[in-house]
Structure 1
C-alpha cells in the first residue's frame, strides 16, 4: 500500500502508537507531520525519517489544531492519536479528572477533525482516523473517565461517518487493547507501586484479558491504520476496529 504524494497528520506522534503510525505512513510514501506538546520528542522521531516533519501543537486548543492542518499541507490523512489516561477509583475521581480525560481524548479528536474537514471537502477526499481503545468498547475498573471519553469518540465516529457518507471522506477508529507503549509502562509502574506486585505479576494482570496473553505492539495498530487509510478501505466507514488479540469481538 502506497501513499505517494499524500500528506498525513498524526497527533501525539512523537512516541508509542503515534510514532509507529507516523513511521509506517512515511515508509509507505506519505509526507507526515507529527504534532504534540513536546517539540524535542517530535524532533527526535523526525530525525529517523526524511518524510517526517515535527510541529508543536496542542489538540485541546482549536486555533492550534487549525495551525497543525495548515502546517501539514491540508492533509488527506488525519490520525487523531493524542491521548492520555489516568487510573483512579470512581469515588475518588475529581471533576478535573473527567474534564482532563475529555479535553484530550474527546475534544482533541473533535478539534482536529473540525479543522481538517473543510480542506478535505475542497480536495474531495480524505481519511479521518481516531485511535480510540478497547475501553471505548467495554468497561474497565478504575478508568471510568477515560472509558467515557473513548466511548464518546466511537459515538462521534459513527455519527460523523453518516454525515460524510455522500463524500469521499471516511471516518473510522481503531481500538487497541493494552499496547506496549510508554503509557502502558506507566500503568505497570502504577500497579507495582500500589499493590507491591512484581513487574511480571503486574504485566500478567494486564494481559489476562487478552486471549493471546500478550501486549499489542504499536506496529500492529499502525498496520490497521494503513489499511483504513488506503484506497482498498473506501467502503469502510463508521467502524471501530478492535486490535486486541480477541479481547473484544
Structure 2
C-alpha cells in the first residue's frame, strides 16, 4: 500500500459518505479516476486498485480528503485480490463500497478472435468482477450494508460487430449483477451495473484506430462517427459515468437494485 494522501476534505452535509470505505478497481485513469474523485468528494475514504503503481499514486494524490491509499493488483488473480482487499479492510476499515471498474476492450471479427483474446476479455472484465466481489462481500454481509457497482457497458445490453468477446464478457457482468442482486436483496446491500456508451477515455483509442484503419477516415472523423451513434451526438464523459456511480452509493438510492443503467445519451433504451 502507498502512503495515504492528505488533502482538504468535504465537511458536514456535503459528505454523505463520510466514514465509508470505497474500493475502486481500474482506478488510475479515465472513468476509474473520475469515480474515485466523486466518491472522495462525498467523503468516502478510497482504496485505488490497478496495475500501474505510478499512475495510481498520481490519481490518489489528487483526491480530496485524507486516508486514501492505492495498491497494485491484477484483478484476474483470485488469491492476490483476496489478500489485497483483506489488507485494505484491516488498514482502512471494512469495505462498504465496491466499484468494479477494471476492464479491457479489444476488437476482432469472430474468425480472428483467437482463444487468448477471448480468455483475456473474460478474465479481466468478468472474472475480475467476480474475484473482487467475492473478496468484499463477506464484510458487507456481516455489516448488513454495502454498495456494489459494476461498470459494464452498453455492450452488456446490446450487440456490436467485431467485439463478440467483449460483448460476451459485459453481458456476463450484467447477468452477474442481476443474480447477485437477488441473492442479497434483503441484506442491506444493493448491486447495480452502470453501462456507459462510447466514453472519451484512452480505452476508446483502439476503437478509433480500427475505424481509421478500416475506412481511411481521419481520427477526428472517426470520433464523429462514434459520437453519431449517441442520439445526443457526442461522446459520454468520464464525469457523467462517475456521477451515476456515486449516486448509486448515496443515501436515497436504496431502492435502485439489480439495475443495468445505460449512460449513453439514449443509445440504448
- TM normalised by structure 2 equals 0.90
Task: After TM superposition, list the pairs within 5 Å mapping 1:46-85 onto structure 2.
Answer: 46-49=60-63, 50-51=65-66, 52-73=68-89, 74-85=94-105
Alpha-carbon distance, 1:122 to partner: 1.4
**Does the alignment pair 1:108 with 2:128?**
yes
Return 66-75 or 100-109, whichever deviates more: 66-75
Q: Could you tell me how far apart the structure 2 residues matched to 1:245 and 1:33 are?
A: 30
Q: Quote the residue 1:200 is aligned against.
A: 220
Contact 1:32–1:72 under 8 Å retained in 2: no
Alpha-carbon distance, 1:70 to partner: 2.2
Q: Could you tell me how far apart the structure 2 residues matched to 1:56 and 1:102 are?
A: 20
Q: 1:78-112 deviations in whole A, cap 9, x for unaligned?
A: 00000000010111111111111000000010010
Q: Could you tell me how far apart the structure 2 residues matched to 1:104 and 1:166 are?
A: 29
Q: Quote the residue 2:266 is aligned against.
A: 246
Q: Could you tell me how far apart the structure 2 residues matched to 1:71 and 1:29 are?
A: 21
**Does the alignment pair 1:27 with 2:47?**
no
Q: Could you tell me how far apart the structure 2 residues matched to 1:97 and 1:177 are?
A: 22
Q: Could you tell me how far apart the structure 2 residues matched to 1:24 and 1:244 are?
A: 19
Alpha-carbon distance, 1:192 to partner: 1.9
Q: Quote the residue 1:7 is aligned against.
A: 21
Q: How many residues align?
A: 249
Q: Could you tell me how far apart the structure 2 residues matched to 1:136 and 1:221 are?
A: 15
Q: Quote the residue 1:120 is aligned against.
A: 140
Q: Could you tell me how far apart the structure 2 residues matched to 1:193 and 1:225 are?
A: 34
Contact 2:146–2:190 under 8 Å retained in 1: yes
Alpha-carbon distance, 1:68 to partner: 2.9
Q: 1:5-51 deviations in whole A, cap 9, x for unaligned?
A: 11000000001100000011011100011101111110111111254
Task: After TM superposition, list the pairs within 5 Å mapping 1:35-184 onto structure 2.
Answer: 35-49=49-63, 50-51=65-66, 52-73=68-89, 74-184=94-204
Q: Could you tell me how far apart the structure 1 residues matched to 2:109 and 2:98 are?
A: 34
Q: 1:107-161 deviations in whole A, cap 9, x for unaligned?
A: 0100101001111111111011100000000000110100000001101111110
Alpha-carbon distance, 1:207 to partner: 1.4
**SS of 2:252's equivalent?**
helix
Alpha-carbon distance, 1:187 to partner: 2.2
**Does the alignment pair 1:214 with 2:234?**
yes
Q: 1:225-244 deviations in whole A, cap 9, x for unaligned?
A: 11111121111111000000
Structure 1 gaps of 5+ residues are none
Return 48-57 or 99-108, whichever deviates more: 48-57
Q: CA RMSD in A?
A: 1.2
Q: Could you tell me how far apart the structure 1 residues matched to 2:40 and 2:58 are?
A: 15
Alpha-carbon distance, 1:54 to partner: 1.1
Structure 2 gaps of 5+ residues are 1-13
Alpha-carbon distance, 1:163 to partner: 0.6
Q: Which runs of 4+ in 1 moved over 6 A?
A: none
